[in-house]
Structures are given as structure tokens and as C-alpha cells.
Chains A and B, each alone.
Chain A
Amino acid sequence: DAKTTQPTSMDCAEGRAANLPCNHSTISGNEYVYWYRQIHSQGPQYIIHGLKNNETNEMASLIITEDRKSSTLILPHATLRDTAVYYCIVRVAFGDKIIFGKGTRLHILP
């Protein structure tokens, strides 16, 4: 079973920041938090991952709480192309299987 809990769906206005929450209250010390997204009819695409520090790349920022029990993915300036299902996953390193939950369906509103 997935170890994460996410809202089923969210809306965000185009041009605004989209903040997608994820709860992973049973995360272990050696587990990373990964985010992927899946645009309709395509395979999932990696966005970002982190262990305990906040991370930023060209796509998004990842904010992990100090107790590591939850995180937030931030898309700073959402566009219509960001409409997708976003998956939050916890995963240990070295050969562990990747289990997806149901994800959050993000709708970007024009």
C-alpha cells in the first residue's frame, strides 16, 4: 500500500502558485520523498525529490516539514500545461519498489 495521503483534487488559477500537500506520517529515516506527475495519456514524469532539506529545481520546489511527516510541492507559476495528476511517493534507496498512491488531480483554471 502507498505510504502517502494526498487530496483527491485541487484547483489553481493560472499564473498563481500551486501548493500540493502530501502526508507521509509513517516515513522512515532512510526514505526519500519523491514527486511525479502524469499528464493525460503519458507516462509519469519525475519532478523532484528530497530527504529532509527543502529542494528546488527548474520545475518546482519541495518543502519538507522538520518532522518529515508531510511535504508540499510548489509550482511557482502554474500554467495550463501543469494540469495533471501529481503523485507523492516515499521510497528507500537501493532497489526498493516504487508504490504509487491515487495522487492529486490538479486543474489549472484559465
Chain B
Amino acid sequence: DVKVTQSSRYLVKRTGEKVFLECVQDMDHENMFWYRQDPGLGLRLIYFSYDVKMKEKGDIPEGYSVSREKKERFSLILESASTNQTSMYLCASSLLNTEAFFGQGTRLTVV
């Protein structure tokens, strides 16, 4: 079975901290995605990557950056965390033209 693993299930960080959310997949998928999910707003795409070192902005990239140095790992970086970045963050991966598999999510609270 495909496994998408997010490094933390729950995370609490302080305003202004640099935050790294890590995602690893074990199925050699080309595509990887980062979403955030907020009540009433649904799942919104932050960034996605279709190959190593390749990235494209999603709908809400502001305040975030990403890194994909290896095919299996896609990191989401909050350069200076703010309270409005408190959210559930979901990582996903897929082959080029198949379904996406999601991790269990990281619930980030910025205080």
C-alpha cells in the first residue's frame, strides 16, 4: 500500500518561528502536493511539485515556501509563522495521471 507520512500529527509553534512540515512518500510518485484545510474554506492548494527541484504555486502560496531535494520528500516551510497560519496541513502524492494519496495531516497551532 502507498504510504504518505507527515512528520507530526500535532504541532504548536510561536509567532515568528520558522516551521518545517515534512512529508515522505514511499511509492516513487512524481507529484507531491501541500494543502491547508480550514473550516468553511475546504482544502486549498498551497504548492505542488511534479519532479525533484520543480515546484509550482497553488492558490495560496503567500507566506509559504517548499523544498523538494529528493523525490520522496516534500517539505513545506513557514518562514515566519503567524497566527493566521494555524490550520490543518495535508500532504499528498500521485503518479502523473493517477489518483492522489493523502497523509493523515498535521494540525499546526501558532500562538
Does any Cβ of B come within 8 Å of A69's Cβ? Answer: no
Chain A: number of interface residues, binned into ranges: 20 to 34
The reply to whether B42 and A100 contact each other, CB–CB distance below 8 Å, is yes
Q: Map CB proximity to A onto B46-73 as digits: 1 under 8 Å, 0 otherwise.
A: 0010100000101100000000000000
Residues in A with CB closer than 8 Å to B94 are 98
A9 to chain B, nearest CB (A): 13
When the two chains form the complex, which single residue of A44, A45, A98 contacts B45, counting CB atoms closer than 8 Å? Answer: A98
The reply to whether A42 and B35 contact each other, CB–CB distance below 8 Å, is no
The reply to whether A103 and B45 contact each other, CB–CB distance below 8 Å, is no
Q: What number of B residues sit within 8 Å (CB to CB) of A?
A: 26
When the two chains form the complex, which single residue of B48, B56, B59, B99 contacts A46, counting CB atoms closer than 8 Å? Answer: B99
B100 to chain A, nearest CB (A): 6
Residues in A with CB closer than 8 Å to B50 are 95
Q: Given A34-B99, A43-B90, A44-B90, is A95 in contact with B45 using a C-beta cutoff of 8 Å?
A: no
Q: Map CB proximity to A onto B81-111 as digits: 1 under 8 Å, 0 otherwise.
A: 0000000001010101101111111000000
Closest to A32 in B: B97
Footprint of A on B, CB under 8 Å?
4, 30-31, 33, 35, 42-45, 48, 50, 56, 58-59, 90, 92, 94, 96-97, 99-105
Footprint of B on A, CB under 8 Å?
32, 34, 36, 41-46, 49, 87, 93-95, 97-103
29 example contacts (A-B, Cβ-Cβ < 8 A) are as follows A32-B97, A42-B105, A43-B102, A43-B103, A43-B104, A43-B105, A44-B43, A44-B92, A44-B102, A46-B101, A93-B96, A93-B97, A94-B96, A95-B31, A95-B50, A95-B96, A97-B33, A97-B45, A97-B56, A97-B58, A98-B33, A98-B45, A98-B48, A98-B92, A98-B94, A99-B45, A99-B59, A100-B43, A100-B45
